[in-house]
Amino acid sequence: KSDSDTYSCDIGDAQSRAKLTVQEAPVLFKQELQNEEAKEGKQVRLTCELSKPGTPVKWMKGDTVLSASEKYEFKQHGTVAELIIRDVKSVDA
C-alpha cells in the first residue's frame, strides 16, 4: 500500500507520469483457533495464525470484548496471535 503514488519517467525535455494504486490484500486465517479442554485452575492458550503480520486482533468471549488483565493475556508475534486464560473456571467455557 505504501508504494501507491505518482511515478514519472523523465528524459530531460519530456516526462511521462502514471499513478499506481495498490490494493491491500485481505487478511485471512492461515491457522484458525482450535477447540481446547482444560482442568479447572489451569492455564489455557488459544492460538491463531494470520496471513499478515501485525494485524490488529480483538479477542472476544461470546459477544464480550476481552481486556488484558490478570485473567487474560494477549500476545502477538508476527503472524501469530495468542490468548492466554489463567486459572480457568467452568464459567470460562
Vertex 84: Cα angle to 93 and 62 (nearest 5): 40
* Average pLDDT for 43-60: 95
29-85 belongs to which homologous superfamily? Immunoglobulins (2.60.40.10)
CA separation, residue 32 to residues 1, 2, 20, 47 (Å):
26, 28, 34, 8
pLDDT tens-digit profile of 7-19? 999 999 999 999 9
How sure is the predictor about 35, in pLDDT bands with cuts at 50, 70 and 90?
A: very high
Residue (of 88, 56, 53) closest to 70 by Cα position = 88
